[in-house]
Amino acid sequence: MVYLCKNLFLMRFHKHIVALITGLLVLSSCNAPYKFTLTTSKTLVFTEQGTATLTEKNNKQIDSIHFFVNGKRVASKGNTITFNTKDLGVGKFAVSALAFYPEKTKKINNSVEILSNIAPTIYTYKLINTYPHDKNAYTQGLEFHNGFLYETTGQRGKSVLRKVELKTGNILQETKLDKKYFGEGMTILNDKIHWLTWVAKKGFTYDLETFKQEGEFSYAWSQQGWGLTNNGTDLLKSDGTHKIYFLDGNTQQEKKSIQVYYNKGKIDKLNELELINGKIYANRWITDKPIKSLIVIINPENGIVEGIANLNGLRELILKDQTLQDDDVLNGIAYDKNSNRIFVTGKKWGKLFEIELVKQ
């Protein structure tokens, strides 16, 4: 009888221990920190659909989730979203989820990279005309306006804004930038000349007729000033990266940006800009040997590189007549929209060329 009672006691004790351990495990699981994973499409091609899903390792309760793509909230179905790459353009974009769970919130971050869905068309060129150009001009900006060329040059103490006669290369008007600034690209909009500086994070505005400085503006998201053009309403600005910024034409405040990608990745070191027939034409700053003279043709709506023009032969023509340093590269694109003429030159090049792009 004693033996039987002892066994019953041990069995009941064992059940209590099991229940206690089970309870502790459940309690421990409840008190364990939430472990979230945000899974998203890592690389997509433009026009494809992307997805993102938030999960919790232990399937713990999540009250609600707010998803964001490129900073904008996206409606979700449960713990998953679907997004259209056409709404984003090309480039790398942030994907995040804000999880709400008992008395807490947590933000989880990831990203997606969107490549172009087309390979760029490759162009060469046909040489139409050759004009004289100041071989001491470290060309940073170039624009054709009302029959004349307007040019800005760089280097501290040598940065100038000038009006130039196309056929002769004669300088008709000029003003100097304060020697503490390194001049960069320029454009003309609403009878105002907007001129960038390199690392001072500011640009200047001048009267088109008098070249009198009328104001200045600061950079916001962009880190430096490189190239500048306009679309009749906004200023379009490069900063040496793979991004192009859109600035309000009246206030010069940055509004948005696009990323420049082709079907294999981003294209950076974008320099002098020109808008030609609705597309952005951009020089690339390439000083690594062998030095290349390229123009990238970009869709301003989505950042897709639609074409690449190989102008290497032009630098070779210059080298027949003068010596160039490695950084004396192709830089300067101007467009005469009335006659559909494209002009290009380079830093300290003694010639300016009128060219026609030809598909290879």
| 333 within 8 A of 344, measured Cβ to Cβ | yes
What is the rounded distance in angstroms from the CA atom of residue 257 to the CA atom of residue 237? 9
C-alpha atoms less than 13 angstroms from C-alpha of 353 in its C-beta half-sphere: 21
- Here the tokens at position 76 are 């979700």
Return the pLDDT at 241: 97
Q: What are the mean pLDDT values of the chain's consecutive 10-residue runs (360 residues total)?
A: 46 51 46 88 95 93 94 93 96 97 93 98 98 97 98 95 98 96 97 97 97 96 96 97 97 96 97 98 90 95 97 95 94 97 98 97
Locate tokens 């008007």: which residue?
Answer: 173
Per-residue CA distances from 252 to 50, 96, 202 (Å): 34, 31, 10
CATH T-level fold of 121-359: Neuraminidase (2.120.10)
Neighbours of 80 (CB within 10 A): 14
Q: In the structure encoding, which two tokens stand for residue 71, read together?
A: 């900073």
Residue-range domain boundaries for the chain: 36-115, 121-359
Q: Residue 265's closest CA among 91, 95, 121, 42?
A: 91
Name beta bridge partners: 141: 152
Structure confidence at residue 288 (pLDDT): 81
**CA 294 distance to own-chain centroid:** 18
Distance of CA 49 to the CA centre of its chain: 22
CATH class of the 36-115 domain in this structure:
mainly beta
Handedness of CA 280, 238, 268, 327 (dihedral sign): positive
